[in-house]
Amino acid sequence: MTDLPVALITGASRGIGLAIARELASTHHLLLGGRNARELEKLAAGFPSASPFAVDLGSRHEVDEAAAGISTLDVLVHSAGVLRMGTVENMSDDDWRQSFEINVFAVAALTRTLLPALRTAKGQVVAINSGSGFSSGPTSAVYSGTKFALRALTDALREEERPNGVRVCSIHPGRVATDMQQELHEFEGKDYRPEAWIRPEQVATAVRMAVDASRDSMVESLSIRPSGMV
């Protein structure tokens, strides 16, 4: 058993989630969330203190079973997510269901399961939302819909858990240089220049700021936008 504060990060094997894991590794024992147990074990071996949290977030049984042994939790970072883009005319029922399943329902389920552990530690929930959680546009109805819903979830949770000492932060990055961003550019038929977009490490720095805020304060919502100067 570690004496370090514990941080569970979903989507920890790549992109923003991996950057957050690297940022928190010096001060926390990491629970690295993802689906591939073998990959997570290899990843965990490269951190000072880390364990795999291998679970299919779409399975309520797996979520409940994996979280059952967590009695105290200092930080819960929701970074896992899926991107489905297309017009309202062309997006299928499955596109809608799968997107909401991972981007919203799984967040609610895992948070609900871990609330006793978060309350014990007077911990913090950090949701990696998106600029799409503030506005939508053509081909973004599904993805933005999930991010609007995630913002509603975190706004409500923040006020519900304030009396219990649990802080809730919603971080809204614009376009971030990840493999998901590359997929989006391919969908849009545009050239992908990663240097033009926010580095995942910058989002991780924002998470660090929220996590390190003193108990007399709470980073409730933070928007990070590309500067457009690169």
State the angle between helix axes of 60-67 and 106-121 in degrees (0 to 180), rounded to the nearest 10: 10
Q: Of 179, 88, 80, which Cα lies nearest the Cα of 137? A: 88
Q: Are 15 and 41 in contact (CB under 8 A)?
A: no
Instruction: Give the span between the Cα atoms of 23 and 44, in whole angstroms.
Output: 14
Instruction: Give the span between the Cα atoms of 169 and 164, in whole angstroms.
Output: 15
Instruction: Give the span between the Cα atoms of 200 and 69, in whole angstroms.
Output: 30
143 included as an active-site residue: yes
Structure-token pair, residue 59 = 């399975």
Q: Would you say the C-alpha torsion 224, 213, 34, 144 has a positive or negative sign?
A: negative
- Helix, coil or strand: residue 92: coil
**What are the distances in angstroms from CA 125 to CA 7, 112, 211?**
10, 11, 9
How far from the centroid of its chain's Cα atoms is residue 5's Cα?
18
Structure-token pair, residue 11 = 């989507």
Q: Are 13 and 36 in contact (CB under 8 A)?
A: yes
* Active-site choice (47, 105, 143, 197): 143
Which residues form the catalytic set?
143
